[in-house]
Every structure is written in C-alpha cells, then in structure tokens.
Structure 1
Amino acid sequence: MKNKMMLESADVKAVAAAAEAEALKHHWAVTIAIVDDGGHLLHLQRLDGAPPVSAQIGPAKARTAAIGRRESKGYEDMINGGRTAFLSVAALDGMLEGGVPIVKDGQCLGAVGVSGVKSNEDAQIARAGIAALGL
C-alpha cells in the first residue's frame, strides 16, 4: 500500500494568499482557483473587477493542469501547433495558459488556475501562489 500526499486546508490558504498578493501587487483583477489532484475545487476567489467569465475559466485551467499533470499551456501549444484533435478531449476544458500543477516529489497534489489578465500573467500568479508552499 502506498501513502498519498494531499493538500491540506492550511496549504490551500497559503497558496491563495500568495497568489492574491501577486495579483494585487500588479493591480491585476483575476479569479484564482485551487483544485485537488482530481480537479475538484478547493478554493475560488474572484478579485474585485475580475470579469465574470474568469470564474469559469480559472477553475477549468486548474482542473486541466491537475488531471493532465502538466501546465495547461502545454495543451494550448499542442493545439496551436496543429494538433487540433485535443479540442475533442471532454475532460480538458481549460487548455489555455494559466493552469499550473502543484507537484511534490513527482506527485501531483492539485493545481492553481488563474484567469483575468494575459495568459503569461495568469501563470505568473499561479506560480507565485505555489511558491508559498516551498516545494
């Protein structure tokens, strides 16, 4: 039998606070979503001024990163590179940059998805949140 690491409430709070701080530092109005390793929502915060659609896109990016075990940008790059068949994968509905998996010792613990600004800035916020865990 194997042991499985998982995000605890304190971890989610630390990631959320650090991601929010990064967004506020740059005056970026975004939605921040954190999911577990199965893509189930643990945290959702839509900052003041973030577009309503970001509350749909952020969790989708996080879910895609968690269940795909890779940054959502990888799927966006594949599709932009011509592999459009990936658009038919029903479980992956957030194939845009901004979803970043939380990985420790090779295990995916969950992911952070951010939406509301440029995709690379969304990813920057997600990575800043994850950095709070010191992995």
Structure 2
Amino acid sequence: MTTTRQAIKLTDQGARILLDAAIEHAHNMGVPQCIAIVDEGCNLVAFFRMTGSRVLSIQSAQRKAMTAASTGKPTGGLDPSIDLKLALATNGDMVNIKGGAPIVVDGQVIGGIGVGSGTGEQDLEVANAALARFMSAQRS
C-alpha cells in the first residue's frame, strides 16, 4: 500500500514566468487582460490587472484559474446548460467560460491560469501562450 506520493509544486518563479508571458502576449495583441495564477489547491499565487482591462474580469480570471486547476481541463468546454448549476454548486467558484487552462507538469496538475477581459478565444490564446513559455522554461 502506498500512503504518500511525490508532488510537483508551482514556485513563485514559475508563476512569474507565466504572468510575464501572459502580459507580453496580451500587450502584443493589444488586448488588456486580467491574469490570475493559482496553485494546485486553487490558492492565488499571482495576479495582474493590465491598464484598461475590465473590473469584472478580476473575479472571472481567478475563477477560470480555479476551475482549470480543479478539473485539470481548459475552461469553457462544458455543456452551457449546466452553467447555473455549476455556479450554484460551487458558490460561484467554478465557471464554464473560456480563458482558463490547467498547468500540468509530468502528468500532474500543479495549478491553473485564468485570463479575462477579451473574447473567450483571446483569453485562451493568452493563457496558452503563457503555458508554452512556462513549458519551454521547464525544459531548459
């Protein structure tokens, strides 16, 4: 019987790589964003609100990150008919809105990134660009 397991943890340096890459990509797109990064327990590790981003996106970016970390899947892919049930069941902590992605290393979900203030596709593009930079740094 195995009673413990090794766990990979997101560091502050890793969160900074994600945050910097997301900010750079959003800036290059010309779309100001709110960017949230959480650890595997959905605890906020890093957050940045770009000038011109929407105030409501502060919360939605965090919820997207939490949802991605909790489910291990990108957000926005569930049947829209469950949106209200999902929100009610999780006290609003989980959302079915595009723009969140899990941070996965060696098959382990170590956190999530959530981006908000653009279209769902723009938000997801920024999240994926940040993840690509993070994974590149992992290999270095």
**TM exceeds 0.5?**
yes
**Letter paired with 1:34:** I
Identify the residue that residue 49 of structure 1 maps to in structure 2.
52
In structure 1, C-alpha distance between the alignment counterparts of 2:60 and 2:95, rounded to whole Å: 6
TM-score by length of 2: 0.87
| 1:50-101 Cα deviation digits (max 9, x unpaired) | 01111111001100111111111223xx12xx44544432164322000100
Question: How far has the Cα of 1:49 moved from its partner?
Answer: 0.4
CA contact (8 A) 2:101 2:113 kept: yes
What is the TM-score when the length of structure 1 is the normalising length? Answer: 0.90
Cα pair 2:97 2:120 within 8 Å, conserved: yes
Shift in alpha-carbon separation, 1:83–1:53, aligned structure 2, 3 A: closer
Unaligned runs of 5+ in 1: none
Aligned residues: 131
CA distance in 2, matches of 1:15, 1:87: 27
Please list every run of at least 4 consecutive aligned residues from structure 1 whose deviation after the TM superposition is greater than 4 angstroms: none
- Identity rate of aligned residues, in percent? 27
Query: How far apart in 2 are the matches of 1:36 and 1:2?
Result: 17
Is residue 133 of structure 1 aligned with residue 127 of structure 2? Answer: no
- Which residue in the other structure is 1:18 paired with? 21
The CA distance in 2 between the partners of 1:128 and 1:89, in whole Å, is: 31
| Structure 2: gaps of 5 or more residues | none
After superposition, residues 84-103 of structure 1 pair within 5 angstroms as 85-90=85-90, 92-103=93-104
